[in-house]
C-alpha cells in the first residue's frame, strides 16, 4: 500500500503493518480466488490449546446443512456459559479453521463452550443469508446446549469484524422474533455500517492493513441491493432498546472504529448495559495475530470483560455504560 503511517506506533505494530502490505487487493480478485489465496497463506492448524471436545457438527440451516464446530474446554463439572461465534473475513472469506485457535483460546480462558458458525458467504449468498445462518445456529445452540454441558440461560453471541456485524444483527433478530434469549453480545472491531466518511475512515482508511477501498468492496459483495435493513446494518433499527448487554471492543487504527464506538454509545443511550474498550495503537484483526506481543495482554483484557459480563448476568444489573478505554499493553 505504501504511504505514510503514524510515527508513534509500537515497533511490532509497524513491522506487522509493513508485512501485511502483501495482503491481496481484494478488489482485484474474485471471491473464490481470494479464498484460495488467503487459505494458502495460513499457517497449519495447531489445534491448540487442547480442548476436551472439538467437534464438527452439521445442523439444519435455512440454506441447507450448516456446519458448526463445538469447543468444550477441559475441567469443571458445572454447566458452562456458551458463546455462539461468527468469524470475520469481510463476509467473503475465512472459515472455521481461520479462527480455530481464537475460539479455543476463548473457550479455555473464559471457561465457556464455543459454537463457531460456518455461515454462508458473499457474494454467492448475499446478506442477510449469513445473519439467518447465525440465527439458526443460536436457536440450535439454545436447544442443544445441555449436550455439551452448557447452560442455555447464559448464551452469548460474539464475532470479530464482519462477524461482529452478525453478532449485533442476530441480537436484533432474536429480540424481534421473540428469542432465543441472548445474555450478551460481544462485538470485536465490528463492521457496523457502510458510512465511509467517519473520522476513523478519514484517518486510517489507507496504510493500516484494512482499507476504505476494501471495506467498500466487502459491502458491495454482502449487500448488493442496499443496506436499508437493520439485519444488514444494525443502526437502521427503529430502536436499540431491549437488546442484550454488550461488550464493544474497537481498534484505534481501524477504519470501522468510529462506527463501533458510536454504536456502543447508541446502545447505552437506549438503556442497554455496555462495556466499551478501544485498543489504542492497534489495527483491525489484531486479536487473531497471536504472534504479536500486544495481542496476549489485549486478549486477557477481552477475556476479563467477558467474565465480568457473565458474572453480571448471573447477579445484579450492570450500570448502563462503562468506559474502559485504554492502551492494549
Which of 7, 40, 98, 161 is the catalytic position?
A: 161
CB 206 within 8 A of CB 255: no
Give the chain as a 3 state SS string.
CCCCCCCCCCHHHHHHHHHHHHCCCHHHCCHHHHHHHHHHHCCCCCCCCCCCEEEEEEEEECCEEEEEEEEECCCCCCCEEEEEEECCCCCCCCCCCCCHHHHHHHHHHHCCEEEEECCCCCCCCCCCHHHHHHHHHHHHHHHHHHHHCEEEEEEEEEEECHHHHHHHHHHHHHHHCCCCCCCEEEEECCCCCCCCCCHHHHHHCCCCCCCHHHHHHHHHHHCCCCCCCCCCCHHHCCCCCCCCEEEEEEECCCCCHHHHHHHHHHHHHCCCCEEEEEEECCCCCHHHCCCCCCHHHHHHHHHHHHHHHHHHHHCCCCCCEEECCEECC
> Is 7 annotated as catalytic?
no
The catalytic site residues sit at 161
Amino acid at each position: 500500500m505504501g504511504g505514510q503511517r503514524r510515527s508513534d506506533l509500537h515497533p511490532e505494530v509497524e513491522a506487522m503493518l509493513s508485512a501485511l502490505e502483501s495482503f491481496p487487493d481484494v478488489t482485484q480478485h474474485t471471491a473464490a480466488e481470494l479464498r484460495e489465496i488467503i487459505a494458502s497463506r495460513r499457517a497449519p492448524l495447531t489445534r491448540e490449546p487442547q480442548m476436551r471436545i472439538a467437534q464438527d457438527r452439521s445442523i439444519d440451516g435455512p440454506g441447507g446443512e450448516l456446519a458448526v464446530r463445538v469447543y468444550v474446554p477441559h475441567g469443571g463439572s458445572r454447566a458452562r456459559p456458551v458463546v455462539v461465534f461468527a468469524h470475520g473475513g469481510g463476509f467473503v472469506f475465512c472459515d472455521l479453521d481461520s479462527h480455530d485457535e481464537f475460539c479455543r483460546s476463548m473457550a479455555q480462558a473464559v471457561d465457556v463452550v464455543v459454537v463457531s458458525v460456518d455461515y454462508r458467504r458473499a457474494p454467492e449468498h448475499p446478506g442477510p443469508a449469513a445473519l439467518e445462518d447465525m440465527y439458526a445456529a443460536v436457536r440450535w445452540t439454545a436447544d442443544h446446549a445441555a449436550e455439551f454441558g452448557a447452560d442455555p440461560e447464559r448464551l452469548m453471541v460474539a464475532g470479530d469484524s464482519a462477524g461482529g456485524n452478525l453478532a449485533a444483527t442476530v441480537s436484533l433478530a432474536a429480540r424481534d422474533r421473540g428469542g432465543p434469549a441472548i445474555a450478551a453480545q460481544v462485538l470485536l472491531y465490528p463492521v457496523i455500517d457502510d458510512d465511509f466518511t467517519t473520522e476513523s475512515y478519514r484517518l486510517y482508511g489507507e496504510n493500516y492493513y484494512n482499507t476504505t477501498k476494501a471495506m467498500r468492496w466487502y459491502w458491495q459483495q454482502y449487500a448488493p441491493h442496499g443496506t436499508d435493513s437493520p439485519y444488514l446494518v444494525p443502526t437502521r433499527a427503529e430502536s436499540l432498546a431491549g437488546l442484550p448487554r454488550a461488550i464493544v471492543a474497537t481498534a484505534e487504527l481501524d477504519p470501522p472504529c468510529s462506527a463501533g464506538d458510536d454504536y456502543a454509545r447508541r446502545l447505552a443511550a437506549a438503556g442497554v448495559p455496555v462495556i466499551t474498550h478501544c485498543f489504542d495503537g492497534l489495527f483491525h484483526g489484531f486479536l487473531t495475530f497471536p504472534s504479536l506481543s500486544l495481542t496476549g495482554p489485549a486478549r486477557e483484557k477481552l477475556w476479563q470483560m467477558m467474565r465480568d459480563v457473565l458474572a453480571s448476568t448471573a447477579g445484579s444489573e450492570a450500570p448502563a455504560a462503562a468506559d474502559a478505554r485504554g492502551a492494549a499493553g
